[in-house]
Structure 1
Amino acid sequence: MITHLATTPFGARPMSLGLISSQLTAKEVKKDATVSKWRVFGDIREAKDALGATDRALAILDALLSFHRGDELTAQGGLVVFPSNKLLIRRANGMSPATLRRHLAVLVTCGLVIRRDSPNGKRYARKGQNGEIEQAYGFDLSPIVARAEEFENLAAAAQAEQKAFKLAKERLTICRRDIVKMIDAGINESVPGNWRGFLTRYETIVSRLPRTPPRQVLDAIVAELEELWADVHETLETFVKSEDSNANESHSDRHIQNSNPDFNSTDESEHRYGKINEASGSAEKTDNVRNLPKRELTLGVVLNACPEIANFSRSGPIRMWRDLAAAADVARPTMGISPSAWQEAVEVMGPDKAAVTVAAILQRADQINSKGGYLRTLTERARNDQFSVWPMVMALLNARMERMGSAAGAVEMPERGQGGSDGGGAGHEKPTSIEISSALAKTMKGKGWK
């Protein structure tokens, strides 16, 4: 039968109150206590930080448990194992003797094992006549049985802490990503807001983040970032709601403040309803897309109808359709048209027609309250095949012709950028002229543009 003695360590190792406490805990183990040694070892491994155990110490404890026969530790069985240092080193993956001694001391300090030192410090067992072990000197594993429930609770707490730390890191990553991208979106989309202030707040919060922060610090920083996230998101959300409201108003034409009959007729032509005068009576208007001429607009006609767009060309005179698209992209921010509205128009209409639409809106900019909302509305109609740039450009062209007092016939137009004077005297400029074909003039006259 094994007898447990409260012994002091052999040699120069001192006695401590912690060793006495471990010995008392081992004495209080229940007589019928039985635990699975590998399950308890798994709990100890999970709770190693709370216990103060090291990885090397756990490797040695794993080796010590392997010297105990059977998978269960019982209070009635022999719980003292007595391997030599040579065997321990072999089973502990070949660590050095000095490392072995150092981490064996860690196991004792943590209260995971108790030293049962012999008078000469050797580890051995004395057997009786029947071959049973009467007295063993080595390492007592009884604290593992006595503290099995404690280890299980510590392991559960450690797992919960690891999960909370992982969730905090995920929240931190998502918050940082969202805030940075939302600030970039606000700046790129020209959304009104204190974006410099938001960016300064973000940098100040993130600068306090340590390289390896504890969970409590991480939670505090995440809480501040979530407050910043809410402020940035509210700014963007408020702007989007106002844009949607403007787009809804433009859909019912309440946002267009225009008394010019030419532009009103253009606006009406973009709907599938409304009336126009034809000959001596009035008739219901049919779908303008089906009634439009089959020819394509030329770049010259567009520039004649929308001369304002030329002021935004950065590469000189507009000579090609891509020059017009580039000028429209430059003019867009000054009109309050967001990049997303412009991109959607390009995708639905194509770059050329989207540029013509922006140029036409620019030409009547003083008569349209929400240019971005108006462009979105026209884009949506174009998506449903209910909008064409032809009537819009023709109305603008007709308005210019009427202002110049010219007939709808062909009048020679000087090249762009050239002035002119008649022979009657200096200081008298030629009136700006517009060159259109007779076929186009006839089409305009037949369609009610005059």
Structure 2
Amino acid sequence: MQRHIATTPFGRGTLTLGQIASQMTARTVPAEAVVHKWQVFQHIREARDRLGATDRSLAILNALLSFHPETALTGAAELVVWPSNEQLMARANGMPATTLRRHLAVLVGCGLIVRRDSPNGKRFARKGRGGEIEQAYGFDLSPIIARAEEIKALAEEVQAEKKALRVARERLTLLRRDIVKMIDAGIEENVPGNWGRVQQAYQEIILQLPRGASRPLVDDVCARLYDLWVETREVLETFTKTQNMDANESHSGGHIQNSNPDSQFESNTAFEKDEAGSAAAQTDNVQSLPKRELPLGIVLDACPGVIDLAQGGQIRHWRDLLGAVEIARPMLGISPSAWREAREAMGEQQAAITLAAIYERSEQIHNAGGYLRSLTERARQGKFSTWPMIMALLRAKLDASQAEAAGKGSLHPSRREPSGFEVSETLLRGLGKRNRRPHEK
């Protein structure tokens, strides 16, 4: 009697063209074909995204393969397995029945197995007198043999892609490390250049790199970072060559590099000298200054410019201010060593306030690094407080606001148009007291 192999699923399941294609593929398996089932399964695991399989469906496929008694799958052997749902659920680590049926459908849809349903939907095998299997109803594993080479090629492509992504990420890490350290070296060694612009360009490139970025995006970011790396390195190399030539021409032996790049620029503009003198006059007796810390809100009122550097454009906590001034530091040309010494002498919070104030008046300060070192030295001597700096900024903003209102012809404070800057009466009295000279008391 001729055996009939069903091509349609049992029950309400419909037949699709994809299932027809899988059945056609299963019939192309040559009788002499032999594959190692666990090796093919490993290739399927590696290429599961390309095949459309899921982790749960692979757990079921692993269970189905375990029901075949032989390790080698051959085209001449019977490749239909007929475990019950209970047996499959047990070998799939107790997977629920509904989940089992859903992921069996995934395996069929991926073309990794073919359903061979019986007339009543049961899975079983009918054996002949000699014990050989005459008819089996269940799941046919023939597509695994037929597609073994295709699956292997997909797995190799996935491995090559992963390797390329790993190499690209390694290159990205090296470029980021080189650029950051070259910027710090340029500032530390006082190499002429707009290091603030380089730092800003670097930040703009890195912000375009999300977590879990794809390889094309990583390659694009690496290409842009490489251009910045070349530009930065050329600046450092050109400066190094110039220094070496100057040393050779002067016949003075080895070039002596100053480890303190800001020391030769301690002279600042008239503004810095005037402010330093004013700060000295107001901080001769530091004990007279308020004992409490400056509120964050007052610091931000005095230094609104640093808010633009914060992540998300908001500063809600002191740690947000610390993050913002870390970005401002290279833009001001302050070396890592000067910033480190300031934090050690003043503390993290006070150093951040000081740097925010310097950033607010960056256009009036000729050498921010030297100015910060000067304030750091005063802090070591106990003669520096951030209160006078912040109060001076607030007073300057208040004077500018009043001058603007006066220019508009307002004769009474209650009739002035809002200027966007408000100061409490208590703070106004405090500002007045701190702005008086000693002879005015």
User: TM-score range with shorter-chain normalisation?
Assistant: 0.5 to 0.7
CA distance in 2, matches of 1:2, 1:35: 29
How far 1:194 moved relative to its partner?
A: 2.3
How far 1:311 moved relative to its partner?
A: 9.4
- Report what 1:112 is aligned to: 112
CA distance in 1, matches of 2:10, 2:193: 74
Gaps of 5+ in 1: 256-307, 317-337, 341-450
Q: Which amino acid aligns with 2:202?
A: Y
Distance change in 2, residues 1:129/1:241 (3 Å): same
Q: In the alignment, does 2:183 pair up with 1:164?
A: no
How far 1:200 moved relative to its partner?
A: 2.0
Distance change in 2, residues 1:186/1:2 (3 Å): farther
C-alpha contact (below 8 Å) 2:184/2:336 kept by paired residues = no
Q: Which amino acid aligns with 1:51?
A: L
Distance change in 2, residues 1:68/1:4 (3 Å): farther
CA distance in 2, matches of 1:12, 1:46: 33
How far 1:240 moved relative to its partner?
A: 1.3
When Rg is computed on C-alpha atoms for both structures, the one with the higher figure is: 1
Q: In the alignment, does 2:78 pair up with 1:85?
A: no
CA distance in 2, matches of 1:73, 1:4: 23
- Report what 1:247 is aligned to: 247
Q: Could you report, residue by residue, the CA deviation over 1:99-142 in whole angstroms, capped at 9, with x for unpaired residues?
A: 11111111111110011111111111111111111111111000
CA distance in 2, matches of 1:197, 1:180: 13
Q: Which amino acid aligns with 1:232?
A: T
Residue 245 of structure 2 aligns to a residue in which SS? helix
Give the percent of matched residue pairs that are identical in Structure 1 and Structure 2.
60
Q: Could you report, residue by residue, the CA deviation over 1:55-110 in whole angstroms, capped at 9, with x for unpaired residues?
A: 11111111110000111001110100010111111111111111111111111111
Q: In the alignment, does 2:27 pair up with 1:11?
A: no
For residues 20-169 of structure 1, the aligned pairs below 5 Å read 20-169=20-169
Distance change in 2, residues 1:240/1:67 (3 Å): same
Greater Cα shift, 198-207 or 160-169: 198-207
How far 1:249 moved relative to its partner?
A: 2.3
- Report what 2:237 is aligned to: 237
For residues 309-348 of structure 1, the aligned pairs below 5 Å read none
Q: Could you report, residue by residue, the CA deviation over 1:165-219 in whole angstroms, capped at 9, with x for unpaired residues?
A: 1111111111112111211221222211121221222122112112221111111
- Report what 1:382 is aligned to: none
Residue 115 of structure 1 aligns to a residue in which SS? strand
Q: Which amino acid aligns with 1:246?
A: D
- Report what 2:297 is aligned to: none
How far 1:3 moved relative to its partner?
A: 5.4
Q: Which amino acid aligns with 1:97?
A: A
Which aligned segments of 4 or more residues in structure 1 are displaced greater than 4 angstroms? 1-4
Q: Which amino acid aligns with 2:8?
A: T
Q: Could you report, residue by residue, the CA deviation over 1:240-283 in whole angstroms, capped at 9, with x for unpaired residues?
A: 11112222223358x9xxxxxxxxxxxxxxxxxxxxxxxxxxxx
C-alpha contact (below 8 Å) 2:9/2:117 kept by paired residues = yes
Distance change in 2, residues 1:339/1:63 (3 Å): closer
C-alpha contact (below 8 Å) 1:43/1:155 kept by paired residues = yes
Gaps of 5+ in 2: 256-263, 269-275, 281-334, 338-441
- Report what 1:175 is aligned to: 175
CA distance in 2, matches of 1:89, 1:125: 20
Q: Which amino acid aligns with 2:247?
A: A
CA distance in 1, matches of 2:336, 2:103: 64
* Root-mean-square deviation over aligned CA pairs: 2.9
Residue 41 of structure 1 aligns to a residue in which SS? helix
Q: Which amino acid aligns with 2:99?
A: T
CA distance in 2, matches of 1:4, 1:141: 18
How far 1:4 moved relative to its partner?
A: 6.9
Distance change in 2, residues 1:140/1:125 (3 Å): same
C-alpha contact (below 8 Å) 1:2/1:136 kept by paired residues = no
Q: Which amino acid aligns with 1:105?
A: A
CA distance in 1, matches of 2:79, 2:49: 25
C-alpha contact (below 8 Å) 1:18/1:109 kept by paired residues = yes
Q: Could you report, residue by residue, the CA deviation over 1:219-238 in whole angstroms, capped at 9, with x for unpaired residues?
A: 11111111111111111111
In terms of fraction of residues, the more helix-rich structure is 2
Distance change in 2, residues 1:240/1:114 (3 Å): same
For residues 205-354 of structure 1, the aligned pairs below 5 Å read 205-252=205-252
Distance change in 2, residues 1:180/1:5 (3 Å): same
Q: Could you report, residue by residue, the CA deviation over 1:397-430 in whole angstroms, capped at 9, with x for unpaired residues?
A: xxxxxxxxxxxxxxxxxxxxxxxxxxxxxxxxxx
For residues 363-382 of structure 1, the aligned pairs below 5 Å read none
Residue 135 of structure 1 aligns to a residue in which SS? strand
CA distance in 1, matches of 2:228, 2:3: 66
C-alpha contact (below 8 Å) 1:205/1:221 kept by paired residues = yes
Aligned residues: 265
Residue 139 of structure 2 aligns to a residue in which SS? strand
Q: Which amino acid aligns with 2:107?
A: L
Distance change in 2, residues 1:201/1:132 (3 Å): same
C-alpha contact (below 8 Å) 2:80/2:141 kept by paired residues = yes
C-alpha contact (below 8 Å) 1:6/1:23 kept by paired residues = no
Distance change in 2, residues 1:2/1:227 (3 Å): farther
C-alpha contact (below 8 Å) 2:114/2:140 kept by paired residues = yes
Give me the TM-score of the superposition, normalised by structure 1: 0.55
Residue 212 of structure 1 aligns to a residue in which SS? coil
Q: Which amino acid aligns with 1:114?
A: V
Distance change in 2, residues 1:4/1:24 (3 Å): farther
C-alpha contact (below 8 Å) 1:2/1:133 kept by paired residues = no
Q: Which amino acid aligns with 2:153?
A: N
C-alpha contact (below 8 Å) 1:2/1:135 kept by paired residues = no
